[in-house]
Amino acid sequence: MHDWQNEVRARLVSLRLKPEREADIVDEIAQHLAERHREAVSGGARPDEATRVALAEFHAGNALAQRIAALKQAHAPATVAAGASTGNWLADFWHDLRYAARAFGKHKSFAATAVLILALGIGATTAIFSVVYSVLIKPLPYPNADELVRLRHSVNGQFGGADFEPTMYVTYRKENRTLASIGLWTDSSVTLTDGGEPERLRGIRVTDGTLQTLSVQPLHGRWFTKDEYGPAADGADPVIISYGFWQRRFGGADDAIGRELSIDSRPARVVGIMPGDFRFLDYATQPDVIAAVRLDEPNLIISGGWSYQGLARLKPGVTSEEARADIQRMRPIWIDSWPLPPIAGATREVLASFPVAAVVRPLKDDIVGGAASMLWVLMGAIGAVLLVACANIANLTLVRADARRQELAVRAALGAGAARIARALLVENLALGAAGSALGLLLAYVGLHFLVALGPSNLPRLQEIGLYAPVLAFTIAVSLLSTVLFGSMTVLKHAVRASAPFVATARGTTTSRERNKARSALVVVQVALALALVVSAALMIRTFQELRDVDPGFAEPTTVQTARIWLPNSLLGQAEQYTRVQHEMLDRIAALPGVESVGFASALPMEGPGWAGTAPIVIEGRVPPPGVFPTTRGTKFVSPGYFEAMGTRLIAGREITWGDIEAGGRVVLISESFAREIAGEPAAAVGKRIRTFVETDAWREIVGVVQGVHETGLYEEAPDFVYFPALLADMWGTPLVGTPFVAFTIRSKRAGTANLMDEVRQAVWSVAAGVPVTHTRTMADLYSGSLARTSFVLVLLAIAGGMALVLGIVGIYGVVAYVVAQRTREIGIRSALGAEPKQLARMFLLQGLALSTIGAVAGLAAAMVLARLMQSLLFGIGPLDPLAYVAALVAVIAAATLASYVPARRAAKIDPMNTLRAE
Amino acid sequence: MTDIDTRALDRELKKGSAELLILSLLEAQPRHGYELSKLIHIRSGGLLTFHIDSLYPLLYRLEERGWIKGTWVEKPGERRRRLYKLTAHGNRVLAAQIKTWETFVEAVRRITAGADHA
């Protein structure tokens, strides 16, 4: 039977007929041919003759097509096959988008889950990257900030609290070849004495050149003039104030310039106001008041009091190394340029013999310092969480795509090519990605506030953290990458396969094993990453434990209240006076109810840099030869009662007494490590004598040895410390030296309460009315402050580990549940054949465990790499701490077991009758 | 009339009259394509043949002009067939064309009547 339809169709192929129209024509003419054929046959022709007759209806040259071509209907506009591409990618895109929206509307739980997981991953990544960017990558807020460097001197490789004195500054400024500008500054907190309660203001004093180096112009007013940096004159001191202070004190008034203030009971005049976004380095509390360091340059002498800090701007093209060499070169020039201090033994040879080295570091590195390693570790951890999230979503989409095989095959039948389907799936994934990113950005914004609030206050540039443009660009890039990651699997797989004819199968599929392999691989990746993160969190927990186990050198810090007292300027310079005032205050505080012991000191442990001092200390009988410098030790000035109030143990000897102080304070206490160095056994050090490196200073007898105190923080060993009495004769080449600014330490069960502090204030004011009492906190606050950075990292890694673990569990659960669902029939049969429920459960449990074990082993390798990167954050343990690894493994395996157990149990409960009946 | 070149006759007559033929055949009742071709063949005594190449493009053209309308009709137990019928417009065209044709034929007759055909 000849295919008439094909004959006709073949002749019409060149025409652009609408498909329905073409079908009609084909049908019609085919019938004509069939009838012709039938007629011929009934007329006696043989079938093949009849066929020839029928086909003779077509004349040569395809006149049929030619004639129809002349008609309108042969010029139908190209129609869209239901599934095929329109050729207009915008229309296609819009169509796909609507289709995707409809599809997600029907499968809300899938879409919601995927978007939520993605949002969490992207939100966390964005938030952490915000911190990394703001702290590590963003340039400092100064013009050409990469030219700025921090200048330091190190003595014997150690840094003191400050490193410069004005004579150095003048020499370096005049003689340098590598610096465009140089300036010094020093902390100079002041008291606003305008009446009412005195307010303590953070302030700095700067030399000429400091503000110029930073190059931030004042918002109103001006910088100091050269004269104002010159010798002190009568009249009000010029000051530049911060934007915040301008708002607070003057209400942002336009006429604030020229207004007068009373600072430290002296008149000051506002000459300039800094802009609102001006930041002086990374001071947590920005200075409100900037005053000038007034130098009588021609008449300076070397003072030996290196209480200034230095910064400079390099000349264009100059490196830090060149600047360092330059400063080192200028040192001998400096030594020879200035008159020496009138201290016996201070000769130019001695000065030259100080093992002092210049250190020049880019300002940003100096500020950011140790935070870098911590932040990159966190970034890596969060990146891992994002990978886990993507793996999870990829798994979800794979499962969903299985269910859509039919739908995709129909689309292929309707004319969609492989590329078309791939594009449609890509659009779906992009829609998911876009929704997840938008939500993630919102979460990041919220999370960032939480992070900044939680962040350790000593995290550099904490106030500069925000969502900047580069961070948003990063988010978009990350979203696209994630989308590609989780989408590519399905897009590739299904686009390729779907265009093949749809094969209807009743149950089970030809490619189920292949699909399960992909899903299992994803789960293994998830478990591996989760294990690495849990290990890192466990290592931080161990670090925290180890840190908490360290004896800080004081006892029961929650019961030790501290407060700083600032005595009026009028007393300064009269050491005896303020020590007497302090003694009086101490007695009054000791008399308060509930106070067990009181003392004061120039610096508290873990109070931060800049309070405690250092000095080279000479041990009697071990005076170093000329040219060799005695080792620098930490120094502090303490009152009687200080150690008792702190709960620091006395190991040998006795404490300082007020009697000692009245006799000239020729006694000291030293720390355990120093004692051992001097005399082997702490007790043997008692009775030995030490003094500062200044030859005219008095020898002081060691009367006691205290346990090592972690003055600078828990991470470092307790340093060698010398505890001087609060008032000393013959110290630093001066007859009498005291400690004007002290922190009181008060041991009481009422520490930390507002009413104890009120009573303390009253006690203080009853001796000296109205003096500022600031920095009121307990030793516990200082202690946790020193742990702040560690806690921060710990919390974030724990969150990351937790998230990854939860996602991993969900992944394992998903795979095992899916396999159970797929093999329901097989389970039913096995069960009917007598398999025990326990056996069945065990089968799937083992499958889940097998996956997790593979993942865990792979994860161990990743964990070890991550741990090595984290090394600088760890304390007391190595990166391969067995306890942490074992704990993490146990946690992950337990979680995996639970995740496999639930669906496995369901397998055991399958009723064979149900499954077999459903055939 | 067997020595008349049928093909030439076909061409000549078809050129002018094809549409008229179809229209008039459909005037009586709706017909399908094959039926039309057979009718023409039989009623012309075999002189005129409309093959597929000529018939269907013609039908489609007439349909596009709105003179005839084709519809698929399905009778029970039979395959569907496409039947064409005359539209009102087609009716008017047919009347006009018949008038023209008759006028033309009359004119030719008058002219040739004068000549003597023995």
A73, closest residue in chain B (CA to CA): B64
- Could you say which DSSP state residue A138 is in? S
Check B60 against A36: CB less than 8 A apart. no
d(CA B97, nearest CA chain A) in Å: 22
Nearest to A73 among B34, B37, B60 (CB): B60
Phi, psi of A218 (to 5 degrees): -70, 150
CA distance A271 to A237: 9
Check B34 against A63: CB less than 8 A apart. no
Nearest partner of A139 among A472, A457, A473, A468, judged by Cα: A468
Contact A208, A290 (CB under 8 A): no
CA distance A536 to A265: 54
pLDDT of residue A917: 65
Q: Is B50 left (phi over 0), alpha (psi -120 to 50) or beta?
A: beta
CA distance A803 to A794: 14
Contact B114, B65 (CB under 8 A): no
Return the number of other C-beta atoms located less than 10 Å from residue A70's C-beta.
11
Check B33 against A29: CB less than 8 A apart. yes
CA distance A644 to A327: 46
Nearest partner of A633 among A674, A668, A669, A665, judged by Cα: A674
pLDDT of residue A91: 76
Q: Which helix (H) or strand (E) holds A718?
A: none
Tokens of A851: 């996956």
Indicate if the pLDDT at residue B47 is higher than 50: yes
Tokens of A751: 């520490």
CA distance A732 to A692: 8
- Could you say which DSSP state residue A164 is in? B
Tokens of A346: 């201070």
pLDDT of residue A519: 78
HSE-CB of A586 using CA atoms within 13 angstroms:
23
Q: Which helix (H) or strand (E) holds A314?
A: strand A309-314
Whole-prediction pTM value? 0.67
CA distance A519 to A529: 16
pLDDT of residue A760: 92
Tokens of A691: 């003094």
Nearest partner of A604 among A554, A549, A550, judged by Cα: A554
pLDDT of residue A627: 66
Nearest partner of A331 among A106, A480, A154, judged by Cα: A154
What ipTM was predicted for this assembly? Answer: 0.85
Nearest partner of A448 among A142, A135, A140, judged by Cα: A135
B80 CB neighbours in chain A (<8 A) are 27
Check B34 against A67: CB less than 8 A apart. no
- Return the bridge partners of A314, or none: A179
User: Which of B34, B37, B69, B81 has the highest number of chain A CBs within 10 A, making it the mutation to test binding with A?
Assistant: B34
Inter-CA distances, A497 with A393, A405, A645, Å? 21, 9, 78
CA distance A33 to A187: 107
A55, closest residue in chain B (CA to CA): B52
CA distance A839 to A846: 10
pLDDT of residue A502: 45
pLDDT of residue A32: 93
Q: Average pLDDT for consecutive 10-residue bins of chain A (919 residues)?
A: 84 82 90 91 89 86 83 63 62 79 75 83 86 87 92 69 82 93 88 76 90 92 90 87 90 88 87 91 85 89 78 93 92 88 70 78 85 84 85 78 72 71 79 87 87 76 84 84 76 58 42 72 86 90 88 91 80 77 93 94 85 84 77 90 94 93 91 92 92 84 94 86 90 79 92 88 85 85 84 84 83 77 78 80 84 89 88 88 92 87 79 66
d(CA B51, nearest CA chain A) in Å: 5
Tokens of A606: 């873990």
| Residue A568 CB contacts under 8 Å (≥ 6 apart), including other chains | A191, A264, A265, A768, A771
Q: Which helix (H) or strand (E) holds A774?
A: strand A773-778
The residues on B that touch A, with CB distances below 8 Å, are: 32-34, 37, 51-54, 56-57, 60-61, 64, 72, 79-82
- Return the bridge partners of A273, or none: A220, A241
A58, closest residue in chain B (CA to CA): B53
HSE-CB of B33 using CA atoms within 13 angstroms:
33
Angle between helices B33-43 and B6-28 (to 10 degrees): 120
Tokens of B1: 């009339």
Q: Is A544 helix (H, G, I), strand (E, B) or coil?
A: helix
Phi, psi of A623 (to 5 degrees): -65, 125
For residues A405, A410, A411, A415, the Cα torsion angle rounded to the nearest 10 degrees is: 140
Angle of CA points A435, A437, A439, to nearest 5°: 70
Contact A280, A204 (CB under 8 A): yes
Tell me the pLDDT tens digit for each residue of B77-99.
888 889 999 999 999 988 888 88
d(CA B33, nearest CA chain A) in Å: 7
Nearest partner of A135 among A529, A456, A534, A566, judged by Cα: A456
Looking at A469-609, list the stretches that DSSP marks H as alpha helix, in order from N- to C-terminal side: 469-498, 512-549, 575-590
Check A57 against B52: CB less than 8 A apart. yes
Q: Which helix (H) or strand (E) holds A396?
A: helix A371-403
| Residue A138 CB contacts under 8 Å (≥ 6 apart), including other chains | A464, A468, A470
Tokens of A861: 């390798």
Contact A465, A452 (CB under 8 A): yes
Check A28 against B56: CB less than 8 A apart. yes
Tokens of A625: 């030869």
Nearest partner of A183 among A335, A366, A279, A309, judged by Cα: A309
- Return the bridge partners of A566, or none: A741
B57, closest residue in chain A (CA to CA): A68
Q: Which helix (H) or strand (E) holds A207?
A: none
Task: Compute CA B42 distance to the chain's CA centroid, rounded to the nearest angstrom.
Answer: 12
Nearest partner of A559 among A587, A596, A592, judged by Cα: A596
